[in-house]
Amino acid sequence: MPLAFIYKLAGHWPPLTWLARCEAGSSLIRVMCGRAVERRLDWFCEAVWDAPFPEGNLDQTDLVFGSGGRCRDGGVIFVSSGSTVDRLQLALRGNCTFVSNSLPCLCEAIEAQFDPRFQRYSELFETINQGIERPLPDLAIAGGSIRFIYYSNVGWNGNHVRLIPKPVKRRDFTRFDNYAEFVRHALRRIAENFSSRERMRRYSWVGTISRGYDSPACASLARAAGLHRVITHDESRPGECDDGTAIASALGLECIMVDRLAWKNQAPLEPLFLAADAQGKEIMIAGAADELADKVLITGHGGGTAWSMRAEPCGEFLARAVHSGLSMSEYRLHRGFIHLPLPFIGLRQLSDLAKLSRSAEMKPWDIGGAYSRPICRRLVEEAGVSREIFGVSKTGASIRFLRGEDAWSKHGKRAFFRWLKSRGHKHGVRAPLLIQAKVCFVVLEIALLFSRRGSGFLRKSSQRVSRLLAAWIRKHKLNDLAFIWAVETVRTSYRGPQF
């Protein structure tokens, strides 16, 4: 008997979260989901892709962002994002297989308890940087494990799962115009998909812009598909100006300036970002929360790989030198937006992109040095942006509160220490360590303040103190405990009646 979906709406859940329960021997796949998940008889999604929405063929393209499921040939295909900044989570309990686009949601459904012997969660999530062709470690939990699925789709035949490679077409990137038009055309098709009248909830574009290479290149490509509004931050890191207003103006885009630390004025947000990758570096995007609901957010994550002149061959399998973008994967489900990291469009042909970057055709846009990206420079300059106002130096926008480079929010720090006081003893946290940790966090905040506002010897000394304190935090596994706290905090969003 062909498999079929049966849905249960969870109105109290974050709008884009879904959880599928696949029972061996049963023809019904039970899907519980938030109110903004599109539900049809034989498919569901919180996704956009480069084909007509009503047909629901999100499983038949590599240009899909978000996730969902599709009945196909008597079985079911669960579809992951065509990037490595989102993923699916999978776990087995008895004769049931659970699949979800949210780690905390899955943990709540299977009543997961973290293995106290496991540590270095951030390193576990960073392993995706090695690429999708290498086996990735599972997340150990009491009595089992949770498997992470990036990029590949997951097939269920009624009894067991298997990985299904995404269909990848070979495109002609031998010339710049071929590549640029391919991306623009893909974005136009995606825009038609997310604005379809057949959707319960339609989306619109919003982009990001900085003074680097990647986001200006993305914005210049997306204009032809209807992008007209972008977000910029005043700084990328403490003291590093990253205001992209002038670039946005040259591109004819409306630009919204956001304070890098505006996220601290909201309810504690650290858990939503830490629960995704145990680092939470992209938390600064939450300062633009009002701009994100019902949007497809275009970012430049992956640009350092796609548009580098020194790309490694393993990049064909989406290996990256920098870990970024993943920490948004839980937050976006709560806020209600799709993340589209534009450089992943065509990234499986990295060797062709690297050849294009180094070609004679692109020589006029190669400025030399370690930070030269001819494809980006040509895209942005031909769009009317002056050469001297972008791509000068790379800073990398992020909030590194777990690495001693930024402070936690007051609300987040208080919530974390309340959890340590009430639950920390289960993870070996005793009163002396708790007191030391409180002192450490206070001194770290003071050191960061002097590091930001001081100069000369005072600034260097404060930075050294910050690094030492961050090392102490890692040594005593407070980073790992912060991840566990985050997941336990966020999973309360999924409490209540299950299937």
Comparing CA positions, the residue from 111, 93, 28, 106 lying closest to residue 67 is: 106
pLDDT-based confidence at 313, cuts 50/70/90? low
> Where do the DSSP E strands lie in 152-248?
153-156, 161-164, 204-208, 229-233, 235-237, 240-241
pLDDT-based confidence at 241, cuts 50/70/90? confident
Pick the more confident residue, 283 or 498.
283
Average pLDDT over residues 264-272: 92
Asked if the model's pLDDT at residue 448 lies above 90, the reply is: no
Comparing CA positions, the residue from 325, 377, 335, 331 lying closest to residue 356 is: 377
Pick the more confident residue, 442 or 16.
16
**For residues 391 and 216, what is the distance between their CA atoms, to the nearest angstrom?**
9
Pick the more confident residue, 119 or 78.
78
Asked if the model's pLDDT at residue 178 lies above 70, the reply is: yes
DSSP H or E stretch at residue 88: strand 88-93
Asked if the model's pLDDT at residue 123 lies above 80, the reply is: yes
Note whether 53 and 196 are within 8 A (CB).
yes
Q: b/e map of 270-295 (b: 16 or more CB within 10 Å)?
A: bbbbbbbbbbbbbbbbbbbbebbebb
Note whether 341 and 85 are within 8 A (CB).
yes
Asked if the model's pLDDT at residue 254 lies above 60, the reply is: yes
pTM of the full structure: 0.95
Alpha helices in 454-498 (DSSP H): 456-475, 478-490
Note whether 330 and 273 are within 8 A (CB).
yes
pLDDT at res. 395: 65
**For residues 303 and 390, what is the distance between their CA atoms, to the nearest angstrom?**
15
Instruction: For 197-215, write each residue's pLDDT tens digit.
Output: 999 999 999 999 999 899 9
Instruction: For 370-407, write each residue's pLDDT tens digit.
Output: 789 999 999 999 999 998 898 776 666 778 777 667 88
Asked if the model's pLDDT at residue 167 lies above 70, the reply is: yes
Instruction: For 17-76, write each residue's pLDDT tens digit.
Output: 999 999 999 999 999 999 999 999 999 999 999 999 999 999 999 999 999 999 999 999
Asked if the model's pLDDT at residue 141 lies above 70, the reply is: yes
Asked if the model's pLDDT at residue 126 lies above 60, the reply is: yes
pLDDT at res. 314: 55
Q: In what order do the strands lie in the sheet with 38-39?
A: 38-39, 43-49, 64-72, 75-79, 153-156, 161-164
- How does DSSP classify residue 335? H
Q: Which backbone phi and psi does 149 adopt, to 5 degrees?
A: -120, 115
Query: Which amino acid, one-letter code, is at 283?
Result: I
Asked if the model's pLDDT at residue 2 lies above 60, the reply is: yes
> Where do the DSSP E strands lie in 239-350?
240-241, 254-258, 295-299, 338-341
**For residues 289 and 363, what is the distance between their CA atoms, to the nearest angstrom?**
40
Note whether 279 and 322 are within 8 A (CB).
no
- Side-chain half-sphere of 123: how many Cα atoms within 13 Å? 6
**For residues 340 and 1, what is the distance between their CA atoms, to the nearest angstrom?**
36
pLDDT-based confidence at 189, cuts 50/70/90? very high
CATH topology of domain 176-389: Rossmann fold (3.40.50)
pLDDT at res. 427: 85
User: Checking DSSP bridges between strand 204-208 and strand 295-299, what pairing results, if any?
Assistant: parallel
User: Checking DSSP bridges between strand 96-100 and strand 18-23, what pairing results, if any?
Assistant: antiparallel
Token pair for residue 247? Answer: 């670039």
In this chain, the answer to whether the domains covering 4-167 and 176-389 adopt an identical fold is no
Note whether 67 and 80 are within 8 A (CB).
yes
Note whether 295 and 272 are within 8 A (CB).
no
Asked if the model's pLDDT at residue 108 lies above 70, the reply is: yes
Average pLDDT over residues 343-359: 95
Which range among 60-69, 334-343, 422-431, 442-451 shows the weakest confidence by mean pLDDT? 442-451
pLDDT at res. 444: 84
Torsion sign (Cα): 319, 330, 491, 121: positive
**For residues 97 and 3, what is the distance between their CA atoms, to the nearest angstrom?**
14
Query: Which amino acid, one-letter code, is at 475?
Result: K
Comparing CA positions, the residue from 209, 398, 406, 394 lying closest to residue 286 is: 398
pLDDT at res. 315: 58
Judged by DSSP in three states, 380 sits in: helix
Residue spans of the domains in the chain: they are 4-167, 176-389, 410-491
Note whether 98 and 109 are within 8 A (CB).
yes
* CATH architecture group of domain 4-167: 4-Layer Sandwich (3.60)
Judged by DSSP in three states, 17 sits in: coil
Comparing CA positions, the residue from 183, 196, 132 lying closest to residue 341 is: 183
Token pair for residue 487? Answer: 């997941």
Token pair for residue 401? Answer: 């509160």
Average pLDDT over residues 173-181: 98
Average pLDDT over residues 238-256: 92
> Residue 148 contacts by C-beta under 8 Å, 6 or more apart in sequence?
87, 88, 89, 90, 128, 136, 138, 139
Which range among 124-138, 411-425, 462-476 shows the weakest confidence by mean pLDDT? 462-476
Asked if the model's pLDDT at residue 169 lies above 70, the reply is: yes
Distance of CA 51 to the CA centre of its chain: 23
Q: What is the mean pLDDT of the chain?
A: 92
